[in-house]
Amino acid sequence: MLTIRDEQLEAFERASWKKFEQSQLGHVREYFPVDHAVLGGDRATLEFIRAGIERARAAGISVFGDACRYVDLMLSLGTDFVIDPQLPWAKALIDDESQDVSTRVDLLHAAALAYIDRVAGEDGGHYLRAVLRARSLSYEEASADDGDDFERSLRALCARLWPRKHREIRGDPMPRFLARAIASSERDGMGEPGPRMIYAGLMFLLGSGFATDPLHRWATAVLSEASSSGHARAHSLFDAAKDHLERTLEAIRSSGSD
């Protein structure tokens, strides 16, 4: 009887996932051309895919098709979408041990598509308008913060930027989102009124984990500048975000003209 050692099985599994990485790269090029362009092409996209596979496997996903959909959702909703307080349904579905893993991914994917239709629009029009609104804001407008009522200021900014998405979080998710915005902005040296609004606004627009998301390396780079003050960092982050939005719009235009 043929005997296969554990080392052989591990080597075979590694080779299979390596092959999947390449097929997933082609998938992203075809179906997520804007993200592929904004990430910076094949090399950075492949790094993102590898990180996505690690997260998928940590969630118990072992089937390539399920891993593909998980990485797709990371691109669409942010790398940390399953723990984003703006998306409480995601964590509830992926942690539901009453279902097998593939069923969880099925339910998660269906819920995410319905959510994307609601907030981005079937043609992406709501999302595009949100990007255009964010790009048009001045620093003074984006950082407007009533120091005595941060929640009211944040709600006003979210409703102005992306009304459809604001509807999704203005109820039960808002307290957890607000708490994370306060904690994360303080962690990254931007807890003062003004800077925290810039930070929280980007959490709302890009995902609550944007500061460490491989999709937004520009943000990680700005926030790693330990010598800058909160206000200086906020200005740098705001300028870098504007550049990111311009690249996103350019990628959308290029994708539409193909």
pLDDT in tens, 52-109: 999 998 889 989 999 999 999 999 999 999 999 999 999 999 999 999 999 999 999 9
CA distance 142 to 198: 6
Range of the structural domain that residue 195 is part of: 125-250
Position 1 scores a pLDDT of 47
111 and 34 inside one domain: yes
Does 17 map to a domain?
no
**Domain end position, chosen among 71, 94, 120:** 120
48 and 96 inside one domain: yes
36 and 151 inside one domain: no
152 and 51 inside one domain: no
- Residues contacting residue 42 through CB under 8 Å, at least 6 positions apart: 25, 29, 36
Position 230 scores a pLDDT of 84
155 and 64 inside one domain: no
Does 145 map to a domain?
yes
88 and 194 inside one domain: no
pLDDT tens column, 190-205: 999 999 999 999 999 9
**Domain end position, chosen among 120, 151, 177:** 120
Q: Tell me the DSSP string of 112-127.
A: HHHHHHHHH-TTSHHH
- Yes or no: say if 71 and 90 are a contact pair by the CB < 8 Å rule: no
179 and 210 inside one domain: yes
Does 232 map to a domain?
yes
- Backbone φ/ψ region at 229: left (φ over 0), alpha (ψ -120 to 50), beta: beta
Q: What is the number of residues in the chain?
A: 258
Does 102 map to a domain?
yes
Is the pLDDT score of 2 beyond 50?
no
Dihedrals phi, psi of 156, to nearest 5 degrees: -65, -40
224 and 107 inside one domain: no
103 and 27 inside one domain: yes
Does 258 map to a domain?
no
34 and 79 inside one domain: yes
Q: What per-residue string of b and e applies to 117-130 under the rule 16 or more CB within 10 Å gives b?
A: eebbeeeeebbebb
**Domain end position, chosen among 120, 135, 170:** 120
pTM here is 0.90
144 and 225 inside one domain: yes
- The rounded percent of the chain whose pLDDT value lies above 70 is 93
